[in-house]
Amino acid sequence: MVPYKSTTDALVDLLANRIQVWFTPVASGIPVQSAKQARMLAVTGDARASVLPDIPTFKEVGYPDLTVDVAYFLVAAKGTPQPIVDKLHGAIDKALQNPKIKETLLAQGIEEKRGASSELGAYLAGEIRRWGDIVKLSAQAAAGK
């Protein structure tokens, strides 16, 4: 494992053949794949990325537990009145229905997954349970324990 400060630094090393494997969000890999500078082996989502339909998922190539999504959320401070949360949610939902915004997001490999704001807490709690031990072990390894 080589920790990089930026995607660009990792990409430079990949293209210079100083590293042979690079895990990156789909958006960062699309230009490299398109220019045939490197070959994408698999994506970590539950389904193939619509922008890269020929690239299989890790599940398809024999790693069923290797599913990871890059997710973006808009969150409000705890205690934000529900009418404000609902108004924000409605505005974002409307924006995500705009064809130009959809097209821009898809071109970057960002798949739309909308849901009720009440679902976010459950999703995040599940992710914390899923990754908590890995984060703790990584911190211990970094600290030399």
pLDDT digits (tens, 9 = 90+) for 35-87: 889 889 999 988 898 888 999 999 999 999 888 887 888 888 999 999 999 99
Q: Cα–Cα distances in Å, from 136 out to 24, 62, 71, 87, 96? A: 22, 27, 21, 37, 35
pLDDT band of residue 145 (cuts 50, 70, 90) is confident
DSSP 3-state of 8: helix
The closest of 16, 58, 54 to 34, measured between CA atoms, is: 54
